[in-house]
A = this chain, B = another copy of it.
Amino acid sequence: MRNITRGELKNASLLQLKDICEEIREEIFSTVSTCGGHLSSNLGAVELTVALHRVFHFPHDKLIFDVGHQCYPHKLLSGRADRFHTLRQEGGISGFPKRTESEYDCYDTGHAGTAISAALGIAKARDLKEEDFHVIALVGDGSFNNGLVYEALNSIKILNSNILIILNDNGMSISSTVGGTHEILEEMKSGYSPSEDVKLFERYGLSYMGVYNGNDIKELLPVLQKAKQKLKEGSVLLHVVTKKGQGYPFCEAAPEETHGVSPQGKQKAKEYSEALGEELTALAEKNKNIVAVTAAMTDALGLRNFYNKYPERSFDVGICEEHASVLCAALAAEGMKPYYAVYSTFLQRSFDELIHDTCGQCLPVTFCIDRAGITGADGETHQGVFDLSYLSLIPNLTIGVPKNIGEFRAMLRLSADYNKPFAIRYPRCGSEGSITDIEIGKFEILHSTTSDVIVLATGERCISLAEKIRERALREDIDFTLVNARFVKPLDQELLQSRPEQYIITLEDNVLKGGFGESVANFYRNSGKQIYSFGYRDCFIPHGDAEKLSNEYGLNENDIFSCIKDIYARR
């Protein structure tokens, strides 16, 4: 798409603005169809973004997105339209706001609930430096469940720096928005007792304006002008309603399914989440104590069928990763068997609760950690590459890393009778494989050889890589023993102790610091064995193709192969 200049936008007639909206909408649809990305959320935010760019003066004024699932129209209006076809591709436009990409992106996001805090910080800096610009936080109603939003609201009077919060209310998180706050917002939209609910926001120091149609640019322009005026006196909450998927009937009809879209033609591999749903449903039939908890991601985590079958034992608590964690710990404290399914990077939000609530009390919560390892196209904020490290340091926690979906099923079955905190981390997609008998803390020898080299690989990406390297090695008459390190904690000390190999290579789909390789190296400390660890180096990994990134940032096939060849050459 062509870049639309600021002048063009300022001078456009209403009709021309509507045309621009259509142009943006088509560009988003066609690009996301090709590249994958967030579709319905962005489609819903087109008019609102065009109106914001008309009324405010970016990048002088600052626009902060919450999560960032609605930032595509903004990118298209800020000089990035001509590059937008590179969306989510290596070196191309990021799917999230990125300071390093454009001065129009003033604060990076990716996880929920940060925008109001960030807006307050930016506004406070403005006031301290006696500068003059507007600060706008654009927040979806799903994020309004998140505790961080509330902490920020509580601070508005303390910080006393004016910001405009736009509550973009489409009734959806990734799943439907749930809970008390959602009901309040629904009431406000239906016109029932709005005055009391308005007070709720005014108590926090916000002038409330709403409810407006966020997909009607004609309605929006004067409203935004008015909000801009009001900002001189204090902070404003502008409540607009938008339709997720607006403009594309099949998106409007299925906003959940079209929230995130895979690139066209890309074959959908088997997902671990499906297996989670199947296994948990089967286990729950036998064990009445099994309950499942999610934070607004029921479908993506594969639990829709479970939720339909056992609604009384299923809890989607909204984008509240911390509360979900404590809730599970308490359910376990009273004898239930909770499963908390969550993405790897979002579990970072309940790091303290993992320590303080679940592991501190050694309660049998099972954490089903999806999207672990490099995930690819979503970039820095979504790469699940820290979990093996931040989980390994927590006492009382067992960490399982299945080699394929079959083994994941086996771990879930094992977990049902396991009486301690248990984290199972797995990527989005994988191969089915068979279900084998497994035991806590026991590795599996996949290929036993008399070679002096042993490769300990953890997780499907690393085991596939090791198998590939082994095939290549065999062609050069090099061989190694290959072990499926299916538990990162506890390690299989017995196996490690008994292995005769002098050269140990570890592979993990995780940063090296604090991870599996370090644990193995510690085990062999001062033994005289040579340990070589492959995993990701100490940096944030941008968006791109997952396999390419993995290869580039530390799990490099050639490097690992060279390492093995060098060992052979040296001996």
- A residues whose Cβ falls under 8 Å from a Cβ of B: 99, 106-108, 110-111, 113-114, 117-122, 124-126, 128-129, 145-159, 178-184, 196-197, 199-200, 203-205, 288-289, 291, 312-313, 315-318, 320, 322-323, 326-336, 345-346, 348-349, 351-353, 355-357, 359-361, 380-381, 386, 389-390, 392-396, 511-514, 518-519, 521-522, 525-526, 530-533, 538-540
Contacts and interface: CB of A to CB of B under 8 A. Distances in A.
A156 B522 CA distance: 46
B352 A111 contact: yes
B330 A117 contact: yes
A335 B526 contact: no
B335 A125 contact: yes
B118 A330 contact: yes
Nearest to A125: B334
A322 B320 CA distance: 13
B513 A393 contact: yes
A518 B125 CA distance: 39
Contact of A356 (B110, B355, B396): B110
A330 B200 contact: no
A267 B129 CA distance: 44
B511 A291 contact: no
A416 to B, nearest CB: 16
Given A124-B315, A128-B289, A152-B326, 17 more contacts: A114-B326, A117-B330, A121-B328, A122-B330, A124-B331, A151-B323, A154-B181, A154-B317, A155-B320, A159-B327, A348-B352, A348-B356, A351-B351, A390-B393, A396-B540, A513-B514, A518-B521
Contacts of A179: 154-155, 157-158
Nearest to A322: B148
B395 A381 contact: no
Given A514-B392, A521-B525, A121 B334 contact: yes
In this complex, the member of A119, A328, A386 whose beta carbon has the largest number of chain B beta carbons within 10 angstroms is A386
Contacts of A389: 389, 393, 514
A123 B108 CA distance: 39
A119 B151 CA distance: 21
A328 B107 CA distance: 12
Contacts of A316: 158
A331 to B, nearest CB: 4
A386 B356 CA distance: 12
Contact of A518 (B122, B128, B514): B514
A352 B349 contact: yes
Contacts of A129: 334-336
B154 A334 contact: no
In this complex, the member of A180, A380, A386 whose beta carbon has the largest number of chain B beta carbons within 10 angstroms is A180
Given A125-B330, A326-B114, A518-B518, A386 B348 contact: no
Contact of A121 (B128, B326, B381, B396): B326
A352 B108 CA distance: 14
A416 B312 CA distance: 54
Contacts of A312: 128
Given A351-B352, A352-B111, A360 B334 contact: no
Contacts of A313: 128
Contacts of A328: 121
Contacts of A106: 333
Contact of A118 (B326, B381, B512): B326
B181 A147 contact: no
